[in-house]
Every structure is written in structure tokens, then in C-alpha cells.
Structure 1
Amino acid sequence: MARVLILGGAGYIGLAVAQALIRSGNYTVLATSRSDTKTKLLASNEVKPLIGELSDITFVKAIIAENRIDVVIDLSQAYSDATTILESVTGAAQDRASRLATENSIGPKLGFIYCSGSWVHGSPRDQRISDTSVPSTFLAADKPATAVAWRPAHEQAVLKSRDNLDVAIVRPGAVYGRGSWVMTAWWGKVLDAAKSGDENTIEIPAYQETRKGVVCVDDLADGFVRVVDRLPTFGSWPVFDFVSETISISTMMEEVKRVIGAKGALSYVGCDGNPFFEALALICNATSGRARAELGWIPKRTEFVRDLPQLVAAWEASQ
């Protein structure tokens, strides 16, 4: 079976991707973690744990070589280490090719999948966005969110590494399901009001026109498996957006308020310059047509608002 290394495999998305790869029956999965505390979690999910720092080029290159890794998935979200990680993986691929050359042989390229996100599209408002849009260029409908302004350049660095690697870029929307924290900045305000019995206006750090693009963590994990399956076959643009549906913030939050039992009216007060809140409050108009057409990706969870009672209950239990 092909061997997949997940950088950040003990995280919320990483563990779901690892489980999906294992369920497919086609992959052996290894994953990194920064501490021993995640070792048991990984091992109990049939994932081989590797403890070390992703900022350590020697460590990353060594685990790729020693474990004969076929594909690396970067789910670390290690903003400050992203360049170092790419350099490490590229270096490991070059070392492998050089060693094969001494034996007068060639082999398959090392695969590398980078997890970016839909925030790089900014707020295109009424313009439908495809993953063929190139962020931070004249082809983009809007500029990226400030919090991820660095990412388009890193996506380009990944794409430019194709002389040494088989690459792909995955851009999920807001990932939900089970204990996802992504909506906490909004849902937490409602929960606090309900617990305190406060019936005053509940101020939400977003805009009335905010529209969220969402994807269930399990559907996203399935998407990653499909990308791994087809990695060596992609053409000139191996970039895929994964958004199963978009929801207006008012529709979402009124249902959240009902489910939680808060009484105050909701008011969307803007983000006061907070880069994270600004990113959360974008207007998503992304589609996943290419993922459906090229990968055969069909999300199973497509009723976010209907499912809010169970989603809110799972989120609240994880607080």
C-alpha cells in the first residue's frame, strides 16, 4: 500500500483525513505531532505517530526517507513554517531522485498536497468563483482576507515545485462537524447570552451580508482521498475548492439562536479591524464544480441549516 505522511495528522482535519485514507484500504498512514500527548490518539486510530518539529528540516527529510513516503499532506496550518516545510519536502524528493540516479534508475515523484482555504478568494460578492481563479492576480475577483494574505504566494511556490513533486492544493470552506471550533466567535456570543439570561442585543462580529461557504469534515476528508488517488494524473492546474453549500449568516444565526434558546435580537456589528473576524465574515461565492467533475466528489452533508441542532449540540459539548 502507498504510504501517506500527514503533517499535523493529530488535528481536527488531519485525523479525519487519516481515518478516511485508512478506510479506503489503499493507504498506510503516518502522521506528525509536536508532542507525545497525541501519540496514543494517533496509534489508536491505526496511524503511526512521528514526534518532532516541522521547522526542523532534518527531521522532516529524515522521516520521509526512512519511511519511504509516497505522498505528504501538509495540514499543519503552520503559517510561519510553511516555506520551511515545502523546502524540506522538495529536498527529500531531490535526495530520492539523486540516489536513484546513482543506481541508473528513476522512480515516481514524491507527492505533496497543501491545504490552503477559500479565504484566499476574499469577498467576490455576486461573482461566482471557480478554483481556476488565481488569488492576488488580475484573474481574482477580490483580494484575499488579510489573515491569509501570504497564502497566494505560497500556493504559487507549491505549484512551481512541480519539477520535483507531484502537487495539489486543496481549498476548503469553513469546516464543520463534531467538535469544530470555526463558528465559535459567533455561536459563543449566543451561548453566553442564553446562559446568562441576558435579553439585550447580541452583537455578532460579522456583517449582515456575510455568507459562509461550508463543508463537512467527513466530506472534506473524502475529497482528500480522491486527490491522493489521482495525484500523479493532474494537468496544469491541480487546485480544488471544496465547498458543499453557502449559507447567509442571518439564516444560520437565527436558527442557532433558536436552538440554543437565547432571547436577544441579533445585531451584526462588523469586525473592528480584527483580521480573523474579517476572514470569518467574508462573502463566499465559491463553487466546487471542478472537484465534482474531475474527482467525482459528491458531498453527503448538504443540509447545514437543517442539521444545526445536532451540530450546535456537538459544538457545545466540546466547549
Structure 2
Amino acid sequence: MKVLVLGATGFLGFPVAQAFVRSGHEVWGQTRSQSKAKLLASEEIIPLIADPSNGSAWTEAAEKVDVVINCIGGNDIVALTQKVYQVITEASKKARGTSLPKLTYICVSGAWVYGDDRTNLVSERSPLNNPAALVKWRPEEEARVLKSTQFDGIVVRPSALYGRSGSSTHMLFAQAAQGKIEWGGDKRGRLASIHVDDAAELFVRIAEAAPICKGVIFDASNNQTESVEDVLSKIVEVSGAEGYSFHEPGNIFELALATTSLIRPSLGRALLGWAPKKAGFVDGMKTYYASWQAAQ
């Protein structure tokens, strides 16, 4: 199988690309950086140096592959996600025609679309009644991807990613290294999370079973959430920080990070036999903090 990972040097995209290589697939990795292209090549990932906003720079690659995975992040993510949709649609029309299986497009969303609900369990089948303000645009984009007739669309919703160099946990570890953590939320919150390697394994399983996964949403999340206080206390313990404190969220990112969603993923396990293998965020904190330190 031929796979193109957009955002292949990012916190999620890099492990995803590595996981596909380990599974024997031919993998292209898009990056904007010549220096990071060397990193991709060293991991047997074929570098594609291109600005994702310039569709003509990577359309040819999209036309050659079987699966495109959008792991792009950044401040311009809304516009880039819309651009990717357009390019994938045109690439699928041009290269696949009517005689070949449709191109598979896996769009990365996120658990924040569930919004804050500290009472009810949610899963892939739950309605999205109150998404966090930061990702209010995502439900409409998810629906557009899933309903496309030009390609086989699949949506993956990772929860807070931990492990390796940190992702959303980078902020907490960086604060701890400076001496104190300030959390924009309250002590009653709970954190839904997933190790980045476990998330990457789910992407591989989805892509390999794409014909039965088209039109499906998958939650990439551990089976249990963790108390925010437990998380912060453990970071303090392993880092030697002075302590932690809470404050009201000061922006839409902090509001999203403070969102509590009681996620119980089911479709990855039921359809693909996927289950997280890594230790939870709290239980493996010593290892994860040391890994983050080494990456700085």
C-alpha cells in the first residue's frame, strides 16, 4: 500500500509515518523543511518537501498513493484542512477514475469536538452538541469528509497525546521544568488521553482495512480518563517542581484543554481489534517526562 502523510514531521504525523513503514508500506512524508526531510529519509520515509497550502506542489503525490492522512497542525489549520479536502477530491477524480478503488482520505479531528460533559459517557456514536470553541468548525468538516462520493473518507479523533516529545503535554512539562504548573481549568476536570504510538497503530489498522472503515469515525483514546489533579501531582513528583495551581481559562486553547469528555472508544476495538498498549499518562509519567527532557 502507498501512503502519503501530510505533516509527517509533526508530533502525530512522524509516529504515524514510522508505523506505516514498520508495517511494510511505501510511505511519503510531506514536510516544509529541507532539514527535516533528512530525518524522514533516515526513517525510510520518502520526503516530499512542499507547502500544504500550495496544492500543486503535492497533487502528483496524492494521485499516486492509495491513502492520504492529514496530520497537519498549526495556526492556519482551518484553511489548510479545507485546501487538503480540495486537493484530495481533485486527485481522486483524476487518478482513480471509475475502474479503481477510491482514494482513502483519513482526516484527523480530535476529542475536543465532544465538548465539556462531566456526566455522560461519549463514543463515536454520540452527537456533537457543544464542541469546544477552538474546534467548532470541525464537526462540519468531519461530515463533509465522511459524505464525500469522490473518495473514501474516514475520521480519527485522538484525545490528548502524550509520550515522546510531548505534544499538548509539552506545555505542562515545560512549566514543570521552570518550577511550577499553572492549569487553566479546575481540579474537578478529567483528561482523556492516548499515547502517540498507540494512536499511530490505530491509523495503520484503519488504512489496511479501509474498505470496511469508509464513512466511519474512530476515537483514539484510552479506555479511562484520568483526574487532572492526579496528572498534575504526578508531574510535580517526577519533575521536582514546586507545585501546581489553577486559574480560569484565559483563551480558547486553555478552554479546550480544560474540556472534560468521558470517552469510551469502541469501534477501533470492535472492527479492528485495536487496543492501547502503553501505560497511562499518570502510570508512565516518569518515563514520559524523561523522554520529553531528552527531546529538548
The TM-score, its normalising length taken from structure 2, stands at: 0.93
> Whose Rg is larger?
1
Alpha-carbon distance between aligned partners in 2 of 1:181 and 1:60, rounded to the nearest angstrom: 26
CA-atom RMSD, angstroms?
1.7
Structure 1 residue identity aligned to 2:155: I
Distance 2:46 2:176 in 1: 40
Tell me which of 93, 109, 124 is aligned to 1:131: 124
Amino acid at match of 2:109: S
Aligned to 1:271: 249
**Partner Cα separation in structure 2 for residue 234 and residue 310 of structure 1:** 34
How far apart, in 2, do the equivalents of 1:128 and 1:302 lie?
22
Give distance in 1, aligned partners of 2:116 and 2:132.
8
Q: What residue in structure 2 maps to residue 165 of structure 1? A: 151
Structure 1 runs not aligned, ≥5 long: 195-201
Q: Specify whether residues 97 and 316 from structure 1 end up closer, same or farther in structure 2 by C-alpha distance, changes over 3 A only.
A: closer
Offset from partner CA, 1:95-146 (integer Å, 9 cap, x none): 1244xx6xxxx111111000111011111211000111242xxxx3xx1111
User: What is residue 197 of structure 1 aligned with on the other side?
Assistant: none
Matched, 1:206 2:185: yes
- Which residue in the other structure is 1:292 paired with? 269
Structure 1 match to 2:95: 96
1:3 is displaced (CA, Å) by 0.5
Counterpart-to-counterpart distance in 2, 1:170 and 1:177: 19
CA contact 1:9–1:31 (8 Å) conserved in 2: yes
1:116 maps to: 109
**Percent same amino acid at aligned positions?**
35
Q: What residue is the counterpart of 1:48 in the other structure?
A: 46
Distance 1:148 1:130 in 2: 17
Moved >6 Å (runs of 4+) = none
Counterparts in 2 of 1:4-153, with a 5 A limit? 4-25=3-24, 27-65=25-63, 68-77=64-73, 78-98=77-97, 106-135=99-128, 140=129, 143-153=130-140
State how far apart, in whole Å, the 1-side matches of 2:117 and 2:124 are: 13
Q: Secondary structure at the match of 2:60?
A: helix
**Shift of residue 204 of structure 1?**
2.4
Pair 1:222-2:222 in alignment: no
Counterpart Cα distance in 2 of 1:110 and 1:203: 44
Unmatched segments (≥5 aa) in structure 2: none
Q: Deviations over 1:22-65 (max 9, x none)?
A: 1112x100111112121100100001111112112222322223
Aligned residues: 292
C-alpha distance in structure 2 between counterparts of 1:15 and 1:280, whole Å: 23
Structure 2 CA distance for aligned equivalents of residues 46 and 9 of structure 1: 12
Cα displacement (A) at 1:283 = 0.6
Cα distance in structure 2, aligned partners of 1:247 and 1:34? 36
CA contact (8 A) 2:29 2:46 kept: yes
